[in-house]
Amino acid sequence: MKIIIGQAARGEDFFPRPKISDEIWRKIESGSNILLVAPRRVGKSSLLFDLFENPKPGYHVVYYTSESVNNINEFYKKLFYKINEILGTTKKYKYKIEGFTKELFSRIDALSVKYLAITLGENKISYLTELAKMLANLELENERLIILVDEFAQTVENIIEDEDQRIAIKFLETKRELRLSPELHKRIQFIYAGSIGLENIVSKFNGIKFINDLTPIPVPPLTNEEAKVFVAKIINENDVTLDEASFDYLLQKIGWLIPYYFQIILNDCEKILEETSSKNITNNTIDLAFSSALKERIYFEHWFTRLRTAFKGEDFSFVKDLLNIISSKPFVLSTEIYDLALRYKLESTYNNLVNALKYDGYINNNDAPKIYRFNSPLLKEWWYRNVAN
């Protein structure tokens, strides 16, 4: 298993998490639509690719990432063609798909003549209608189609920012109607994932009702035992050793046991071992790797740029100051957070902002409801050095 930093791990580089995968398949088999719930960098996209590349018999799986999409018709257009692309290669559905798309193209051509441009012709087509029609007419028999939508929450945010909240609500309504359509129910299922919390976004405009039909499945950090297997797979690939005491030290230093942090530290350990012609990872190697990793802005910069894109004005100032404070001490109390919210006159909305930081993987209050700290000691130290000071 190779070190993969910042990308979804696929194939031989994917680290299986059977409990989560089994739970996903149990819910799929029960007919559920699913929301994978986890902060960024935990491995949701890797799980989606594993589902896409290793479907169970009787299931067809489509993977679609909508991160750059910013309007409703574009979302359904890209999804329409993605389904065509995947099912069009399946002999059983090839001719049905081709017949449907030829009929659609003939209507687009007719509109293009009328409006003198292909783009205008396509703009007159409702791809939601076309998608629903195509899915309803697919003769799946006893098979099911699973549609994986990655970065869906980002699409909702894009629509809010580029159009407005009202359009985002309409988008969520259309998605819910599609999922619950009697023609598609239990034949076509959706799984949503992404690096930001969908629940937190929709809660800003009381939109939980638009996603309350989704079954949430959490993707937690690695357990100690999973982390041990994960690390062993990587170091075995590179023919190095790590004794039990140093492994425990690595766990202690990383703190929040997500694959991303193990990969960046082990990557820097590998560099250090090459420089010293050593094959043994020691506590000193780990310390040097941490120091080295903290100098790499590319490892952490996205955590800061995410705040800049997600929050504006006083909201941004509040969350940035809050993280600055938490990075400088072991923890902060909820009373301190409230005092900070008063300073920014956000006492009626600050809870949503704090929840956003929790959903997105910056902080947690797992140990006690009124005590907040950084999830990752590594991110905390980087933030203290590069943002707070």
Residue 119: inside a domain: yes
Contacts of 107-114 with C-beta under 8 Å, sequence gap 24+, read none
Verify that 244 and 186 share a domain, yes or no. no
Domain boundary among 218, 240, 269: 218
CATH number, domain containing residue 262? 1.10.8
* pLDDT given for residue 380 in this prediction: 96
* pLDDT given for residue 122 in this prediction: 54
Residue 250: inside a domain: yes
Verify that 203 and 91 share a domain, yes or no. yes
DSSP H helices, the chain, are 18-29, 44-53, 72-87, 91-115, 118-123, 127-137, 152-162, 165-180, 198-203, 224-237, 244-254, 259-276, 283-294, 297-310, 313-327, 334-343, 350-359, 377-386
Verify that 230 and 204 share a domain, yes or no. no
Domain boundary among 158, 191, 218: 218
Indicate if the alpha-carbon torsion angle 291, 296, 301, 304 is positive or negative: positive
* Rounded Cα distance, 179 and 184, in Å: 7
Six token digits for residue 111: 């509109």
CATH number, domain containing residue 317? 1.10.10
* Rounded Cα distance, 136 and 33, in Å: 17
* pLDDT given for residue 123 in this prediction: 57
Residue 143: inside a domain: yes
* Rounded Cα distance, 99 and 103, in Å: 6
Q: Are 380 and 327 in contact (CB under 8 A)?
A: yes
Residue 4: inside a domain: no
* Rounded Cα distance, 59 and 51, in Å: 10
HSE-up of residue 301 (Cα within 13 Å, Cβ side): 4
Residue 301: inside a domain: no
Verify that 181 and 233 share a domain, yes or no. no
The pLDDT profile of the chain, 389 residues, written as one tens digit per residue, is 788 887 888 988 999 999 999 999 999 999 999 999 888 788 899 999 999 999 999 999 999 999 999 999 999 999 988 988 887 777 666 656 667 677 777 766 555 544 445 454 455 688 898 888 888 888 777 889 999 999 999 999 999 989 999 999 999 999 999 999 988 887 899 999 977 778 888 888 888 999 999 999 999 999 999 999 999 999 987 788 999 999 999 999 999 999 999 999 999 999 999 998 899 999 999 999 999 999 988 899 989 988 888 888 999 999 999 999 999 999 999 999 999 999 999 999 999 899 889 988 899 999 999 999 999 999 999 999 999 98
Verify that 331 and 376 share a domain, yes or no. yes
CA distances to 38, 128, 202, 378 from 216, rounded to whole Å, are 10, 25, 15, 28
Question: Cβ contacts of residue 125 below 8 Å, gap of 6+?
Answer: 73, 104, 107, 108, 111
* pLDDT given for residue 156 in this prediction: 93
Verify that 82 and 146 share a domain, yes or no. yes
Partners of residue 244 on adjacent β-strands: none
Residue 300: inside a domain: no
Verify that 369 and 236 share a domain, yes or no. no
Verify that 91 and 138 share a domain, yes or no. yes
3-state secondary structure of 117: coil
* Rounded Cα distance, 97 and 84, in Å: 6
Verify that 94 and 138 share a domain, yes or no. yes
Residue 275 buriedness (CB in 10 A; 0-12 / 13-18 / 19+):
exposed
CATH number, domain containing residue 177? 3.40.50.300
Shortest CA distance to 381 belongs to which of 247, 195, 253? 253
Domain boundary among 218, 249, 274: 218
Q: Are 125 and 107 in contact (CB under 8 A)?
A: yes
Verify that 208 and 241 share a domain, yes or no. no
Residue 5: inside a domain: no
Verify that 239 and 380 share a domain, yes or no. no
Residue 2: inside a domain: no
* pLDDT given for residue 172 in this prediction: 96
Shortest CA distance to 76 belongs to which of 149, 11, 143, 22? 149
Find the domain containing 135 and state its range. 11-218
Question: Cβ contacts of residue 135 below 8 Å, gap of 6+?
Answer: 83, 145, 183, 184, 187, 188
Phi-psi region of 87 (alpha: psi -120 to 50; beta: other; left: phi over 0): alpha
* pLDDT given for residue 119 in this prediction: 52
What is the number of domains present in the chain? 3
* Rounded Cα distance, 349 and 367, in Å: 24
Phi, then psi, of 184 in degrees rounded to 5: -110, -15
* Rounded Cα distance, 62 and 79, in Å: 9
Verify that 205 and 348 share a domain, yes or no. no
* Rounded Cα distance, 234 and 13, in Å: 9
